[in-house]
């Protein structure tokens, strides 16, 4: 904004009077603005107004300060009053549009901007160029490609326009293109230190957190009080280290936010929830949903962690995804609902969202992009493809429970990967995940396939009686039988027979008992097991004649081989 004021004309005074006047002089508005102290500038403006010596264009300057403090509501109110006057200036409509844009009022911003100054192609008319830049951004918000390109063509080879182009590249996830523009401008104008922050943010988005950190340090040496930079540095620490390290970095920003950085308060509250792994999410995030776009996404993540799938789905139901993060979250929520409800429609949507991200040119070689392709193929049950993608990123997720859970399941789908599957599943530490039947069933099958049936049996013994424990003992009974591990198959079928007198369970138990007997004769099973097997057979009520015949054969062999089965 180009708001200027004429310097007051003062009469000549004697040297002594000039000294006294200088000693008593108030700070100048320009000094506050040069130091980015908009709170001080606002205080000065209001003081001068109360002293009946108002600064020219008071309301414009107050609106300007409110805008730069991030108080877009206050600035919006003042510009609304200005444009409602008798002879509103065209640029006031444009400045009002800027406030509306920052408040997410894109339709209103578009209407106000169109009333702004014309001549967007005249480099000498900066307000006209600002109008074009704002409409360029609004076209992106409206997802209007044709309109976007029309305003793109009107951009000039001037720094503000080039920076606007870079910001659109950033918003469209073209981070390398944005970096190229920023670096080119930086080469021509090495004094533009703020470009380090923009470049650092792009590297952050590209997951180059260490590179981002190096770039930010250069800027912080000159501006150690930059709220944006300190916050980004904290986010880098969160990615590189942990939440505690990030929170420590954010401490200095918390101190500043109480004074000159009012706009950072909401950002700090939001990020602290993330750094503290969702602590106070329900108190902090809901009011910020319409303030910070990430607040909605992080609240969805919180609901997913708490397994409140319907709440997560409600938040994203009407959201049209535009960023990879939004597509990924919609995919995860639909996948979780599809699995929970057995909904093929939710699974189909999830698979499409994952494929859109993983197959995109900007994301295909990123870690999230590869995770998405793995998830897409997982839903399609193409497990060979799943393993290709997960193997390429497993070094980044050694201690990640969800990754190890999915990796273990994918490995377990291949007949020659049981050992690796068991190792991956045992890395899962989350008690919630370890209680899930899918986890228990997959791990039990790995134990059996790796010839550790006793460990599978112990998984069942630790479970409380339920439909899931019935399903697990059924899996153990059948898989042990298939693998020739008849002793534990026999014990499992005996449990099933007592729970449900199904003739099929008797047949399985009978076959397993005979299998154990054969292994005892072949010296593949301890002789002591025979006594227990005979006792299990005696627990069977029907068919009595068949049971008596089998026990008779076993008893005669035991007598001939001096095995005590009494």
Q: Which residue has the tokens 């990879």?
A: 324
Mean pLDDT of 533-557: 90
Nearest to 288 by CA among 313, 315, 314, 307: 315
More confident site: 564 or 212: 212
Longest dimension (CA), the chain: 133
93 neighbors 83 (Cβ within 8 angstroms): yes
Domain-wise residue ranges, the chain: 397-483, 486-566
Q: Give me the mean pLDDT over the 60-77 stretch.
A: 94
Most confidently modeled range among 264-278, 280-294, 418-432: 418-432
- Distance (Å, rounded) from C-alpha 409 to C-alpha 386? 10
Tokens of 327: 């597509």
Radius of gyration for the chain, computed over Cα atoms and rounded to the nearest angstrom: 35
Inform me whether the pLDDT recorded for 554 exceeds 60: yes
Euclidean distance between CA atoms 213 and 221, whole angstroms: 13
Q: What does the alpha-carbon distance between residue 386 and residue 389 come to, in Å, rounded to a whole number?
A: 6
Sign of CA dihedral 170, 174, 176, 182: negative
- pTM for this model (two decimals): 0.74
Rounded CA separation 306/302 (Å): 6
Phi then psi dihedrals of residue 151, to 5 deg = -75, -25
Checking if the pLDDT of 260 tops 50, the result is no
List Cβ<8 Å contacts ≥24 apart for 301-306: 301/329, 302/278, 304/332, 304/333, 304/336, 305/278
- Record the tokens describing residue 250, joined without a space: 């954010």
Q: Helix or strand or coil: residue 197?
A: helix
Q: What is the mean pLDDT of residues 82-91?
A: 91
pLDDT 10s digits, 453-506? 999 999 999 999 999 999 999 999 999 999 999 999 999 999 999 999 899 999
Assess contact for 194 and 219: CB atoms under 8 A.
Answer: yes
pLDDT tens digit string along 34-58? 988 999 999 999 999 888 888 899 9
Class of CATH domain 397-483? mainly alpha
Tokens of 561: 């081989």
Phi/psi at 93 (nearest 5 deg)?
A: -60, -40
């Amino acid at each position: 904004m180009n708001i200027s004021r004429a310097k007051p004309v003062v009469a000549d005074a004697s040297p002594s009077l000039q000294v006294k006047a200088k000693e008593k002089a108030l700070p100048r508005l320009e000094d506050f603005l040069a130091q980015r102290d908009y709170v001080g500038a606002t205080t000065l403006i209001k003081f001068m107004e109360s002293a009946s010596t108002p600064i020219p264009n008071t309301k414009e300057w107050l609106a300007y300060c409110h805008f730069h403090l991030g108080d877009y509501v206050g600035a919006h109110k003042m510009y609304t009053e200005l444009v409602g006057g008798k002879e509103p200036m065209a640029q006031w409509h444009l400045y009002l549009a800027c406030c509306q844009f920052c408040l997410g009022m894109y339709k209103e911003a578009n209407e106000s901007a169109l009333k702004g100054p014309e001549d967007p192609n005249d480099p000498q008319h900066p307000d006209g160029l600002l109008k074009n830049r704002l409409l360029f951004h609004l076209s992106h918000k409206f997802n209007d490609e044709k309109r976007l390109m029309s305003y793109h063509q009107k951009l000039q080879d001037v720094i503000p326009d080039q920076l606007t182009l870079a910001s659109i590249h950033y918003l469209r996830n073209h981070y390398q293109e944005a970096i190229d523009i920023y670096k080119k401008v930086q080469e021509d104008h090495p004094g533009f230190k703020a470009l380090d922050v923009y470049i650092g943010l792009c590297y952050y988005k590209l997951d180059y957190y260490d590179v981002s950190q190096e770039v930010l340090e250069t800027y912080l040496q000159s501006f150690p009080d930059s709220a944006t930079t300190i916050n980004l540095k904290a986010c880098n620490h969160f990615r590189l280290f942990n939440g505690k390290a990030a929170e420590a970095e954010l401490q200095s920003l918390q101190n500043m936010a109480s004074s000159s950085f009012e706009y950072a308060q909401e950002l700090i509250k939001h990020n602290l929830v993330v750094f503290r792994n969702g602590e106070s999410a329900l108190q902090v995030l809901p009011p910020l949903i319409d303030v910070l776009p990430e607040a909605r996404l992080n609240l969805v993540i919180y609901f997913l962690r708490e397994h409140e799938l319907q709440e997560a789905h409600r938040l994203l139901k009407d959201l049209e995804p535009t960023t990879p993060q939004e597509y990924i979250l919609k995919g995860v929520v639909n996948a979780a609902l599809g699995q929970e409800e057995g909904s093929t429609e939710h699974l189909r949507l999830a698979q499409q969202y994952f494929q859109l991200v993983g197959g995109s040119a900007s994301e295909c070689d990123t870690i999230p992009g590869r995770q998405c392709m793995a998830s897409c193929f997982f839903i399609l049950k193409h497990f060979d493809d799943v393993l290709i993608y997960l193997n390429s990123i497993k070094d980044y997720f050694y201690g990640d429970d969800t990754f190890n859970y999915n990796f273990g399941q994918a490995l377990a789908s291949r007949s020659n990967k049981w050992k690796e599957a068991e190792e991956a599943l045992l890395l899962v530490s989350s008690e919630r995940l370890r209680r899930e039947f899918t986890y228990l069933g997959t791990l039990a099958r790995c134990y059996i396939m790796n010839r550790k049936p006793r460990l599978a049996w112990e998984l069942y013994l630790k479970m409380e009686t339920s439909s899931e424990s019935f399903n697990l003992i059924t899996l153990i009974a059948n898989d042990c039988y298939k693998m020739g591990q008849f002793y534990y198959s026999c014990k499992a079928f005996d449990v099933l027979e007592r729970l449900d007198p199904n003739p099929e369970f008797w047949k399985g138990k009978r076959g397993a008992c005979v299998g154990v007997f054969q292994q005892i004769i072949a010296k593949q099973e301890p002789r002591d097991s025979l006594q227990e097997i005979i006792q299990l057979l005696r627990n069977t009520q029907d068919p009595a004649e068949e049971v008596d015949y089998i026990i008779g054969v076993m008893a005669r062999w035991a007598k001939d081989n001096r095995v005590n089965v009494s």
